[in-house]
Amino acid sequence: MEQKRRGVRLVLFPCPLQGHINPMLQLASILHSKGFSITIVHTCFNSPNSSNYPDFTFIPIPDGVSDDKSVLSDGITFLSFFNVNCAVPLRDCLIRLLSDATNIVAEAVAEHIPCLISDSLMHFTQGVADSLKLPRLVLQTSSVVSSLAFAAFPVLRQKGYLPISDSQLETPLTELPPLKVKDLPVFHTHDVDIMCQFMESFVNQVKASSGIIVNTFHHLEQPALAAHGKEFPIPVFTIGPFHKVFPASSSSLLTQDRSCIAWLDTQAPKSVIYVSFGSLASMDKAEFVEMAWGLANCNSPFLWVVRSDLVHGSKRIEPFWPDGFLEMISGKGCIVKWAPQQEVLAHPAVGGFWTHNGWNSTLESICEGVPMLCRPCFGDQKVNARYVSHVWRVGLQLENKLERGEIERSIRRLMFEKEGEEMRERVSS
């Protein structure tokens, strides 16, 4: 097989967010292991560490964004910015690569570029690929069920569900059972019209592509895949979970604190609840304080990932620790700024995962047999959380405002009670 693929170079273009860079580089590693040469074209913003992938070629393109997370305050505006700013630089880059492939010296091994693989949110890449007569495959980094929700936005808006109003939050969506209106995968934005236009554009450009690569597996999302095939009548390749083939640690944009593994080694089996809200989600000060006391009072040892920007509008977490909290949890809690998540979830001491339900985190937790406490923040996280808690029944969802007593009760249900044990059995089967 490798002999047939020698001289074939694949060009991949990720969305510059941690939860999208990880699966794209994992996919690249999988494809490289099958004999393909790999070129990663990427933005300067959140540039991946090329030294971790010595066999890949990395090419940065200008994007017009400084390396400042403040640009993420409005997710749709941020994504739209990249979809406009990167079109010309990406096209120029691809023209150079295609020219190099055809003008290579005779004694060298010619490298044919058969297609572009891009993140589905980078919908502008379809137009770029079309202009160069280059087939485009899309990588879908979210779940299949969330993809169906995105595709339903025009109908849902026509029916008055968007923009979401408080009076409709609990309304069941007959078009997307078991979702409710509050589960719709909306993003932080100040303009609902722009959000709906973006969703329509990215869905339409996925349908215009030559095929979809999805980081999932049939056993988990089989019913949704049948509906997905009708909505997206193009080839779909379910080759996940990627992380079981190649870990994401080498593509992390944040420095992992491995001291937490030694701490986990001292804990009893399935006794620790691991808490992490990914690389972007944040909360206000009051929620952070309630979360801290809920963990302190739950009688379960915990490993908590506390990024410096976890509290809205702050780059430092130190001012927000409740008085006496750090002293109270001494020996019981381990706090790090970032953790090697896949290794943590696979550790025998971990018995539960309090998560924002990003798709990577959700998939990793399911694959390691760890039940979840769900607290989604935005986008597809809400869809994932509803399926985790109400369809796959391998987690509980915190649906009300964070309050220490409710947090304590929910953790106890997950970690100590029969309900949690039944989830642990289901997720492990």
pLDDT digits (tens, 9 = 90+) for 39-98: 999 999 999 999 999 999 999 999 988 655 555 567 888 899 999 999 999 999 999 999
Q: Give the confidence band of 274 by pLDDT, cuts at 50, 70, 90.
A: very high
Q: Give the confidence band of 105 by pLDDT, cuts at 50, 70, 90.
A: very low
Calculate the average pLDDT of the chain: 92
| Phi, psi values for residue 11, rounded to 5° | -110, 125
pLDDT digits (tens, 9 = 90+) for 319-341: 999 999 999 999 899 999 999 99
One-character DSSP codes across 167-195: GGTT-B-TTSTT-BGGGS---S-S-HHHH
Residue pair 249/22 in contact by the 8 Å Cβ criterion: no
Q: What are the residue ranges spanned by the domains of the chain?
A: 2-249, 254-428
Q: How many helices (H) and strands (E) does the chain have?
A: 17, 13
The DSSP letter of residue 52 is: G
pLDDT digits (tens, 9 = 90+) for 283-301: 999 999 999 999 999 989 9
Question: Which of these, 92, 102, 79, 73, lies nearest to 14 by C-alpha position?
Answer: 79
Percentage of the chain beyond pLDDT 70 is: 94
Q: What is the mean pLDDT of residues 25-45?
A: 96
Q: Which of 71-75, 113-117, 231-235 has the lowest mean pLDDT?
A: 71-75
Tell me, which fold does domain 254-428 have in CATH?
Rossmann fold (3.40.50)
pLDDT exceeds cutoff 50 at 106: no
Distance CA 410, CA 154 (A): 36
Q: What is the mean pLDDT of residues 232-245?
A: 95
Tell me, which fold does domain 2-249 have in CATH?
Rossmann fold (3.40.50)
What confidence score (pLDDT) does residue 175 get? 92
Distance CA 247, CA 250 (A): 7
What confidence score (pLDDT) does residue 67 get? 54
pLDDT digits (tens, 9 = 90+) for 122-134: 999 999 999 999 9
pLDDT exceeds cutoff 50 at 365: yes
Q: What is the mean pLDDT of residues 298-308?
A: 96
Q: Which of 77-81, 170-174, 182-186, 370-374 has the lowest mean pLDDT?
A: 77-81
Inter-CA distances, 137 with 19, 37, 419, Å: 19, 16, 42
What confidence score (pLDDT) does residue 189 get? 73
What confidence score (pLDDT) does residue 103 get? 62
Residue pair 238/214 in contact by the 8 Å Cβ criterion: yes
What confidence score (pLDDT) does residue 4 get? 45
- Tokens 């019209």 -> residue: 193
Distance CA 122, CA 13 (A): 8
Question: What pTM, to 2 d.p., does this model score?
Answer: 0.93
- Evaluate whether 2-249 and 254-428 have a shared fold: yes
